[in-house]
Amino acid sequence: MQPGKMQMNGRSSPAPGRFHDLDALRAFAMLLGIVLHTCLFLMPVDDWPIQDRWADSHDLENNPYAFFFGVIHGFRMPIFYLISGFFTAMLWQSRGLDGLARHRLHRIGLPLLAGMLTIIPATNAFFIPVTPLTWMYSWLSSLAHLWFLWYLVLMTAVFIACARLGLRFRHPAWWLLLPASILPQYLMREGMIGADGSADLIPIPHVFGYYLVFYLFGAFFYQKRIEVQRWWSTGLAPATLVAMPAGYLLLDPESLGLAPSNAVRWTAAVIGAVYTWLACFGLLGLFRWIASKQRYWIRYVSDASYWLYLGHLPLVLGGQALAVSWPFSVHLKFTLICVAVTGILLATYQLGVRYTFVGRVLNGPRVRH
């Protein structure tokens, strides 16, 4: 893990080797999106179009899928954006700012544009009426799950602007990004550790700011040459066993006999930030431990994960619409949807994406073995 020397004049320098652990962790975060969205039809939430009757008798406090959702939501997109910031800084080193911009427009902008006319309206059709005339404009009402691509486009623009202004990401002051995540966490209103939902074309400022903190920290992580340590994985235990339960209890202070107050909200925000950072560092350490060496199947899943995340939500919603009336255990329904959606998308990736133009856009060219 010895990257080449950074060129500060915008020109490129030799690229470092591949970070197999970060590729695998990014894929893990993407694939958890299938799990996360499958959980929602088993939770009593108002803004999900399909609800299993089981959810009506299991409120959020006593719902294992809500707990599972909370654990995942608190770290999934923060670690994704942290890794994205890391690779953005690496691309800046290897390709320069102009090359970085072209790469991001190719790998992020093109899939987003294609998704506006395909995946987004197919997803939005489960939430709002979509006619042939409104199909091509559906993205104006919601970017669905592809909001993350739009955020990446905007973050890349912020990064390039900062770099052109001469800002660098090596000064120790960037460590202040860790406590800086507390303020946007305090401003969240959906009663969760992590960010509120934000799928509109115009981002919610505190949500965008929250994710930008992790993105910029990822850039600092790369330029500062911070070496991931395996022992960081021990942070997962206090994150999930202490910080996460404490944070959620404080988000509902009346359950503890406490009156809602700013002091309680600030405390919940601090503990929520502690959970997220502990989980992020813990996962970095865990994947350095288990996935730092090249393995073909991990590389394959890492490549496929982008396609799986892009295409999963219409299939998950379709699976939920079918499964909601099945006389099966909800746990079996949950498992079947996750497995079926993953299997279908892996098959389509192998047969129609990996070695095609679509695959070259998403992952670069791949050679058949």
The residue ranges of every structural domain in the chain are 20-363
In whole angstroms, what separates CA 230 from the centre of its chain?
Answer: 22
Please determine, for residue 4, whether its predicted confidence score (pLDDT) is greater than 50.
no
Q: How many other C-beta atoms are found inside a 10 Å radius of the C-beta of residue 1?
A: 11
Please determine, for residue 331, whether its predicted confidence score (pLDDT) is greater than 80.
yes
Whole-number Å distance between alpha carbons of 264 and 242: 17
pLDDT > 70 fraction of the chain, expressed in percent and rounded: 95
Please determine, for residue 43, whether its predicted confidence score (pLDDT) is greater than 50.
yes
Per-residue pLDDT, averaged over 296-312, amounts to 96
Q: Is 3 helix (H, G, I), strand (E, B) or coil?
A: coil
The string over 151-187, giving b where at least 16 C-beta atoms fall within 10 Å of a residue's C-beta and e elsewhere, is bbeebbeebbeebeeeeebeeeebeebbebbbebbbb
List Cβ neighbours of 223 (8 Å cut-off, separation of 6 or more).
6, 89, 168, 169, 170
Question: In this predicted model, what pLDDT tens digit does every residue of 311-323 receive, in sequence order?
Answer: 999 999 999 999 9
In whole angstroms, what separates CA 112 from the centre of its chain?
Answer: 15
What pLDDT was estimated at residue 17?
Answer: 65
Question: In this predicted model, what pLDDT tens digit does every residue of 208-262 receive, in sequence order?
Answer: 999 999 999 999 999 998 888 988 999 999 999 999 999 988 888 887 888 888 9
DSSP 119-132: HHHHHHTTTS---T
Beta carbons of 192 and 73 less than 8 angstroms apart: yes
Q: Which two tokens stand for residue 252?
A: 């509902």
Tell the burial category of 196 from Cβ atoms under 10 Å away from its Cβ (0-12, 13-18, 19+): middle
Please determine, for residue 39, whether its predicted confidence score (pLDDT) is greater than 70.
yes
- pTM for the complete prediction? 0.93
User: pLDDT category, 163, cuts 50, 70, 90?
Assistant: very high
Q: Which two tokens stand for residue 290?
A: 């288990």
Rounded to the nearest 5 percent, the helix, strand and coil shares of the chain are 70, 0, 30
- Name the residue among 278, 214, 205 with its Cα closest to residue 26: 214
